[in-house]
A and B are shown apart, each in its own frame.
Chain A
Amino acid sequence: MKMELIQPFINAADAVLAQGLQTRLSIGSLSMEEEAYRRKGMAALVRLTGDIEGRVIFDLDKETAVRVARRFAGAELPESDDLVRETVFELANQVIGNAITSLNDQGFHFRVHPPVLHASEHGPKGSEDTEQLVMCFETESGNVFMNIVMRYSHVQSQGMAVGGHS
């Protein structure tokens, strides 16, 4: 696992959550795993292809997602499955958008695919080549899990466009 690829995602998650929640947060746990990822709640998966390949999963339980949405909005929002889903997706969009801005500034070009609902209980199993970083941000609104698999692409990526994001 190349930490120079991972660090922008950690920095972006830290910045987005701290600003949106208007509170300090801490990293509760951080581990490298080869075992399949076990989903905790509502999870969004975003794939990257190009100079860098991999995927990021954002995962929040329902109650945390509602609290996060209300903190970000600064208002009471009616609880619903749609609110939970869009909160997880918007968090993923903001964190990945900020991370790829940083990576793009370093000269990496890649396509970011739109977030998709990660509905299965287990994520893809890691391997020696695709070890997963699993981290948990502890916030006053609850725990936010981020799972990252990222590596340099072996494929010639010249001419690939950088994908748009929210």
Chain B
Amino acid sequence: MEQFATMKRSKDGQPIRYLVVDDSVFARKNLARMIETFGGQLAGEAGDGAAAITEYDRINPDIVLMDITMPQMEGIEAAEKIVQKHPEARVVMVSSVGYQENIVAALQRGARHFVQKPVKPEVLYEVIKYVMGDDGSVANAAAAGAPEGAGSMK
């Protein structure tokens, strides 16, 4: 898998911490592998929306990658509950259904962005950069062809 310029948190230079939520083990593993190539850290995993809320409270991640259709509680509802409690939460929906209504529903209920499955690493990378904004930075920007010392990602 392609290696990307490492993304870090601007405030402390530490890896961006992710919570990956999907009822499919191999979908979670696939996202975890991508996160690794971004220089991120898999802080936690959950297999449904209810577990995602618990995990968010426990690990307070920088980014949540959230599937939509899951048992117990669907991803959009879980995203809404997380954002209600933590308005600063950055939730990115990851779903195979990319039609307009689905995207709008997710964004209206608190998600920051939407990535369609099957996930392309280069697409997810750009979305993470956008969602992190000034709170993230590309650490080895020279490797990615960007000017040395490039700062915020927006």
Residues of chain B whose beta carbon lies under 8 Å from any beta carbon of chain A:
1, 22-27, 29-30, 33, 67-70, 74, 76, 95-102, 116-118, 120
* A-B pairs, 4 with minimum CB distance: A97-B96, A73-B29, A73-B26, A104-B99
Q: Which of A56-64, A83-91, A134-142 contacts its partner? A: A83-91
B24 CB to nearest A CB, Å = 4
* Cβ contacts A116-143/B at 8 Å (1 or 0 each): 0000000000000000000000000000
Chain A interface SS verdict (over half): helix
Q: Which of A24-32, A36-44, A146-154, A158-166 contacts its partner? A: A158-166
A90 close to B99 (CB less than 8 A): no
What CA separation (Å) do A75 and B27 show in the bound complex?
Answer: 11
What CA separation (Å) do A166 and B116 show in the bound complex?
Answer: 10
Residue on A with the closest CB to B69? A166
With a cutoff of 8 Å between Cβ atoms, the chain A residues found around residue B23 in the complex are: 86, 166
With a cutoff of 8 Å between Cβ atoms, the chain A residues found around residue B22 in the complex are: 166
A164 close to B99 (CB less than 8 A): no
* Cβ contacts A85-103/B at 8 Å (1 or 0 each): 0110110011111101100
A94 close to B118 (CB less than 8 A): yes
